[in-house]
Amino acid sequence: MPDKFRNKYRISSSRLKNWDYGKNGAYFITICTGNREHFFGEIVSVNNDNEIQFTEIGQFAHQFWLEIPKHFPFVELGNFQVMPNHIHGILIIDKKDNVDALRLQTLRVDDVQTLPVDDVQTLQCNVSTENKKMAMISPKSGSISTIIRSYKSVVTKNSHHIDAKFKWQERFHDHIIRTSDSFERIQNYIENNVANWKEDKFFD
């Protein structure tokens, strides 16, 4: 029987090559800034404890991660941490029947501004043949790729008002969390990320 997280989230045992990234499950996500530049802030020692002091861009990165479930209601956030040059976070997908259709039907104007082009084209897929073609080749609505693209897009848009040089690393790293032990280990790793900054592989 598959493991559960909090007696609620089932983690599929499917192999990675066959995995549909829109399926229910927990995903450990890492997104880096371009060239690992410290756009988000710096780790400082305060009373012998590490803490991160965010830049304004770092505050954007933190705020818009918190808002992911607002735009994708089937997503719950696990632990996450914005670091000086990267973000670690757990996204838990728990889709109910027809949740995507309901989300698209009730989409507000301010939601559209933060969603990737792919979702907007899906809404307009009946307007032209070209839009239909684009919808077919785009990442699946509600997939991890779509969620991260939306997040990166809104952070970039707002950050460019502060620093036009801000950019993300093109790709992001993801890991499917398959067991309860792994889930707790990653939760703890993220929680202690700031304290263990000098041992982090992204430290420079």
Whether 2 has a pLDDT exceeding 80, the answer reads no
Q: What is the pLDDT of residue 95?
A: 87
Instruction: Grade residue 64 by pLDDT with cuts at 50, 70 and 90.
Output: very high
CB neighbour list of residue 75: distance below 8 Å, 6 or more residues apart? 68, 69, 91, 92, 93, 94, 147
SS3 at position 77: strand
Distances in whole angstroms, Cα of residue 51 to Cα of each of 77, 87, 173, 197: 21, 15, 24, 10
Q: Which residue has the higher pLDDT, 202 or 194?
A: 194
Q: Which CATH class is domain 4-96+144-199?
A: alpha beta
Q: What is the mean pLDDT of residues 3-14?
A: 43
Q: What is the pLDDT of residue 18?
A: 59
pTM score: 0.70
CB neighbour list of residue 131: distance below 8 Å, 6 or more residues apart? 121, 124, 125
Min mean pLDDT across 18-22, 60-64, 149-153, 198-202 is at: 198-202
Q: What is the mean pLDDT of residues 7-18?
A: 43
Q: What is the pLDDT of residue 15?
A: 31
Q: What is the pLDDT of residue 142?
A: 79
Whether 6 has a pLDDT exceeding 70, the answer reads no
